[in-house]
DNA sequence: CTAGGGTTAG
C-alpha cells in the first residue's frame, strides 16, 4: 500500500502523546470559548463586528526611542574637568555603543568620584546600556553610584532601575527595590511580574498579580500578556482560562500582544483547539500571531498541519521572520523533508536572516540529522556568531555519523575558542566517543568533566557510559555503573543496559533490565512488547501470558510498525506485513534485491532477540515496512538520490543487514531515523557501527 | 511626559 500522508496520520506513533485528546475536556473548553465569544460580542457589539471584517483599527505604533535624552537643564556635570562625560554617555547609547558608554561611565566614576551629579537622562541611558549587555557588574556600579551620590530618583527612574535589575536576572535585588519603593504604579507591577515570569517563578508571579489586582484593582493589556506567559509556564489550563475571562472583561483580549500570548498559553497548556479559536478571531493576523499558532501545532506533534499553515501564511502576504524559518526548519527535521527544508533555507537567506543564529543552528541540526554532515559543517562555518547550542548541534552530528575523532576535535576547538561547554555538550561528546569506540577518551572526559568544567555528570551521561561499556561487551561493568551511580537509576540507564544485553545476547541480565523499565513506565506500550519477547525467548510461558493479559486489560493495542519515506516531495507510508495489490512491483523489486545481496554474503537473520515490535509470523521479515519503503524509494528515484526514512520502531537485525548490503549493490546512501537512533548506510556500512 | 507586553534552535 502506498498512501499519501493524510493529516494526523504521521503523528500517531512517532510523536509524543503528552496531550491525550480527551474528548470531554476539549468539548468543555470549546463551549467555554463559545461563551467567551458571546460575552465579548455582547460587551462591545459594534467594535466586534468591525473587527471581524478586518477593519479593526491598527494598534498605535510604538513611539521611537530616539530623542528624550537631552541633558537635564538644572543638573549638568558641574566640575569643569569632567563636563561632557554625561553627554558623551548618552550619545554613545544612542549609537548603540553600549560597551563604550559603560567604559566612559567607569572613567567618570573613578576620576570624579561622586562629585559629578549624574542627571536623570544619563541614568536612563546607562540603564539601556546595562540591559543590552546583560551586565550585572554594570548594574551594580550604576546603581551604587546613584545611591552614593545621593541622587533621589523619581518614580520613573525607580521603575527604570527596577527594569535594569529584572532584565539582568538580578531578581533578589529587584524584589528589594520593589518592596522599598515609596510609591508604585502599574509599570512597577508589570516590570516585577515580568521578571518573575522570566526567571520561571510562575507561582510568585500569580501571587503578585493577585495582590495587585486586589490592592490597585487595575491591570493593562501588558499585564495580561505577561500573565499569559506565566500561565503557559504552569502548563495548566485553568488559570489561563480565568485570566482570559478577566482580559475580556477588561476589554483587552483583542490586543495584539494579548492575543499572541493567549495562543501560546492555550497551546502550551494542551488545547490547540482553543489556540486556533483565538487565532481565528485575531483582528489582525501579525507575523508573531502566525508564528505562535505554527509553533503550537508543531508542539502538539501536528507537523504536517504546521507546514500547511506556513504556506498559508506565505500566501496571506504577511512578512515572515527569523522565528518563522527557525521553526519551519525544525518541523522539517521531524518530517525528514529535505525539499521543504531546502526551500526554507533559501527563504531564510532571501529574507535577509541568513546570519540568524537560531535559524542557522536549526539548519545545522537538520543537515546533520539527515545524513548531510558536510552541509551542516558548511552552514556552521559560515555563521558569524555561534553559541553553545550551535556547537552542540554539530558535535552531536559528527557523533551520530560515527565520526568521533572529528567530534572530539570540534570539542577541543570549542574550548580553545573560549566557548563554555554545558551538559548537552558532554552528552554529545560522550555519545560520540561511545558510537566510535573511543572508550579511553570517553572515560577521561566523563571523569574530569565535573572538576574541569563544573558540569556534574547526570543520568544521561551515565547512560552514555553504560552504552560505551555495553558496546565492548562489558555488561557487568555497565551494571556496576548503574548500581553505584550517586542517584536513583533512570529508565534511560536501564534501557542502555538492555540494548547491550540484546546485542550481546545476555538474556538473564536483559530480563532484569526489562523488568526494571516495565516497573518504572507501566503505561508505555513498547515496554510490554520488550518484556513479552524476552519472556518468550527465555521460554517463560507463564510470565509472558501474564504480561499479555495485563496489556489486554489496560486496553493497550499493538501498533503495526510503520515507515515513512519522502519521494518527490511526497511522503509515503508503509505498514509492516502489508501484502495488498499495489505492492506487487515493490515486492518483485525487493525479491530481486534480496537475491543480489545474497551474493554479497546476506544470510537472513532470525528474529532478533528483543525486537520492539511483535512478530508472530516467521517469514514476515520480507514485508517489514523499512524494506518495502527502501524498495519503493529505489524504484521511484534516480540513481544518485539518497533515501530518507523515518520509522516508528527500532530497525531489526535483518533489515539492518539487508539495507547495509543494498547500499553496497546500488551505490545509494540510505538514511534511517528509527525509534532509537539515526543510521546512515553507505557502501555496505552503517554509521551506528552495528550497535543500536 | 517618559517606562512595562507576545513567537524560534541543541
Length A1 CA → B7 C1' (Å): 39
Q: Which nucleotide is nearest to A157 (CA to C1')?
A: B3
Q: Average pLDDT in the A489-499 region?
A: 94
Is position A329 within any domain? no
- Looking from the CA of A474 toward its CB, the CA atoms found within 13 Å total 14
Burial classification of residue A457, based on how many CB atoms lie within 10 Å of its CB (0-12 exposed, 13-18 middle, 19 or more buried): buried
CATH assignment at residue A124: 1.25.40.10
Is position A540 within any domain? no
- Looking from the CA of A259 toward its CB, the CA atoms found within 13 Å total 22
What's the pLDDT score for residue A34? 30
Query: What element of type H or E holds A573?
Result: strand A570-575
Please tell me whether any atom of strand B lies within 7 Å of the Cβ of A190: yes
Please tell me whether any atom of strand B lies within 7 Å of the Cβ of A506: no
Which pLDDT tens digit goes with each residue over A615-634? 555 457 788 889 999 999 99
Burial classification of residue A4, based on how many CB atoms lie within 10 Å of its CB (0-12 exposed, 13-18 middle, 19 or more buried): exposed
Is position A110 within any domain? yes
Q: Strand B: which nucleotides have any atom within 7 A of a protein Cβ?
A: 2-10
Domains in chain A: how many in total? 2
Domain endpoint, select from A182, A214, A246: A214
A96: left (phi over 0), alpha (psi -120 to 50) or beta: left
Domain endpoint, select from A198, A214, A230: A214
What's the pLDDT score for residue A42? 32
Calculate the CA A215 to chain-centre distance. Answer: 39
Terminus-to-terminus CA distance in chain A, angstroms? 28
Q: Which nucleotide is nearest to A127 (CA to C1')?
A: B3
Please tell me whether any atom of strand B lies within 7 Å of the Cβ of A184: no
Please tell me whether any atom of strand B lies within 7 Å of the Cβ of A458: no
Which pLDDT tens digit goes with each residue over A360-418? 999 999 999 999 999 999 999 999 999 999 999 999 999 999 999 999 999 999 999 99
Is position A138 within any domain? yes
- Which domain does A88 fall in, by range? 80-214
What's the pLDDT score for residue A616? 52
Is position A193 within any domain? yes
Is position A523 within any domain? no
Is position A364 within any domain? no
Please tell me whether any atom of strand B lies within 7 Å of the Cβ of A353: no
Please tell me whether any atom of strand B lies within 7 Å of the Cβ of A65: yes
Neighbours of A17 (CB within 10 A): 12
Which pLDDT tens digit goes with each residue over A217-234? 789 999 999 999 999 999
Domain endpoint, select from A162, A195, A214: A214
Q: CB < 7 Å to strand B — which of 120-159 in chain A? A: 124, 154-156, 159
Length A511 CA → B8 C1' (Å): 43
Q: Average pLDDT in the A589-598 region?
A: 90
Is position A95 within any domain? yes
pLDDT band of A650, cuts 50, 70, 90? confident
Amino acid at each position: 500500500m502506498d498512501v499519501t500522508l493524510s493529516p494526523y496520520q504521521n503523528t500517531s506513533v512517532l510523536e509524543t502523546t503528552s496531550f491525550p485528546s480527551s474528548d470531554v475536556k476539549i468539548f468543555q473548553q470549546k463551549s467555554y470559548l463559545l461563551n467567551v465569544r458571546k460575552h465579548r460580542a455582547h460587551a462591545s457589539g459594534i467594535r466586534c463586528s468591525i473587527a471581524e471584517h478586518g477593519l479593526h483599527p491598527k494598534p498605535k505604533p510604538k513611539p521611537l526611542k530616539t530623542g528624550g535624552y537631552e541633558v537635564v537643564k538644572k543638573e549638568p556635570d558641574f566640575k569643569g574637568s569632567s563636563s561632557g562625560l554625561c553627554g558623551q554617555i548618552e550619545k554613545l547609547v544612542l549609537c548603540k555603543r553600549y560597551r563604550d558608554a559603560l567604559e566612559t561611565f567607569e572613567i567618570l566614576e573613578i576620576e570624579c568620584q561622586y562629585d559629578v551629579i549624574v542627571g536623570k537622562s544619563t541614568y536612563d541611558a546607562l540603564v539601556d546600556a546595562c540591559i543590552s549587555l546583560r551586565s550585572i557588574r554594570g548594574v551594580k556600579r550604576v546603581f551604587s553610584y546613584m545611591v552614593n551620590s545621593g541622587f533621589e530618583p523619581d518614580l520613573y527612574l525607580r521603575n527604570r532601575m527596577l527594569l535594569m535589575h529584572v532584565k539582568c536576572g538580578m531578581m533578589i535585588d529587584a524584589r528589594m527595590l520593589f518592596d522599598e519603593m515609596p510609591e508604585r504604579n502599574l509599570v512597577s507591577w508589570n516590570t516585577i511580574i515580568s521578571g518573575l515570569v522570566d526567571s520561571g517563578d510562575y507561582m510568585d508571579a500569580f501571587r503578585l498579580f493577585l495582590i495587585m489586582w486586589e490592592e490597585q484593582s487595575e491591570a493593562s493589556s501588558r499585564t495580561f500578556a505577561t500573565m499569559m506567559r506565566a500561565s503557559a509556564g504552569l502548563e495548566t489550563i485553568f488559570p489561563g482560562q480565568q485570566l482570559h475571562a478577566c482580559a475580556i472583561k477588561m476589554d483587552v483580549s483583542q490586543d495584539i500582544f494579548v492575543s499572541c500570548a493567549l495562543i501560546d498559553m492555550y497551546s502550551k497548556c494542551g488545547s490547540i483547539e482553543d489556540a486556533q479559536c483565538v487565532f481565528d478571531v485575531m483582528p489582525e493576523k501579525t507575523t508573531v500571531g502566525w508564528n505562535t499558532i505554527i509553533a503550537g501545532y508543531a508542539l502538539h506533534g501536528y507537523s504536517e498541519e504546521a507546514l500547511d499553515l506556513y504556506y498559508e501564511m506565505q500566501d496571506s502576504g504577511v512578512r515572515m521572520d527569523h522565528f518563522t524559518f527557525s521553526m519551519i526548519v525544525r518541523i522539517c527535521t521531524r518530517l525528514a523533508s529535505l525539499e521543504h527544508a531546502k526551500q526554507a533555507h533559501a527563504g531564510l537567506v532571501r529574507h535577509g536572516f541568513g546570519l540568524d543564529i537560531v535559524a542557522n543552528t536549526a539548519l545545522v541540526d537538520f543537515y546533520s540529522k539527515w545524513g548531510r554532515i558536510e552541509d551542516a559543517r558548511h552552514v556552521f562555518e559560515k555563521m558569524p556568531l555561534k553559541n553553545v547550542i550551535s556547537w552542540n548541534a554539530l558535535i552531536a552530528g559528527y557523533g551520530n555519523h560515527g565520526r568521533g575523532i572529528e567530534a572530539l576535535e570540534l570539542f577541543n576547538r570549542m574550548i580553545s575558542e573560549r566557548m563554555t561547554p554545558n551538559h548537552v555538550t558532554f552528552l554529545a561528546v560522550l555519545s560520540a566517543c561511545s558510537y566510535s569506540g573511543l572508550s579511553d577518551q570517553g572515560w577521561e572526559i566523563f571523569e574530569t568533566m565535573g572538576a574541569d568544567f563544573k558540569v556534574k555528570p547526570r543520568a544521561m551521561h551515565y547512560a552514555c557510559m553504560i552504552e560505551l561499556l555495553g558496546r565492548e561487551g562489558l555488561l557487568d561493568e555497565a551494571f556496576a555503573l548503574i548500581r553505584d551511580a550517586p542517584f536513583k537509576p533512570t529508565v534511560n540507564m536501564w534501557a542502555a543496559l538492555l540494548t547491550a544485553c540484546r546485542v550481546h545476547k545476555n538474556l538473564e541480565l536483559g530480563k532484569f533490565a526489562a523488568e526494571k523499565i516495565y516497573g518504572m513506565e507501566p503505561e508505555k506500550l513498547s515496554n510490554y512488547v520488550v518484556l513479552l519477547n524476552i519472556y518468550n525467548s527465555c521460554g517463560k510461558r507463564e510470565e509472558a501470558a501474564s504480561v499479555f493479559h495485563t496489556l489486554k486489560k489496560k486496553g493497550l493495542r499493538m501498533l503495526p510498525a510503520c515507515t515513512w519515506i519522502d519521494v518527490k516531495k511526497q511522503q509515503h507510508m508503509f505498514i509492516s506485513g502489508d501484502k495488498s495489490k499495489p505492492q506487487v512491483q515493490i515486492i518483485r523489486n525487493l525479491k530481486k534485491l534480496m537475491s543480489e545481496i545474497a551474493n554479497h554474503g546476506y544470510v537472513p537473520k532470525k528474529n532478533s532477540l528483543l525486537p520492539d515490535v511483535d512478530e508472530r509470523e516467521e517469514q514476515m521479515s520480507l514485508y517489514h515496512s523499512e524494506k518495502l519503503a527502501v524498495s519503493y524509494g529505489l524504484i521511484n528515484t534516480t540513481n544518485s538520490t539518497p533515501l530518507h526514512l523515518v520509522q516508528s520502531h527500532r530497525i531489526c537485525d535483518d533489515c539492518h543487514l539487508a539495507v547495509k548490503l543494498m547500499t553496497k549493490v546500488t551505490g545509494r546512501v540510505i538514511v534511517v531515523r528509527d525509534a532509537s537512533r539515526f543510521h546512515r548506510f553507505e557502501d555496505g556500512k552503517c554509521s551506528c557501527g552495528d550497535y543500536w
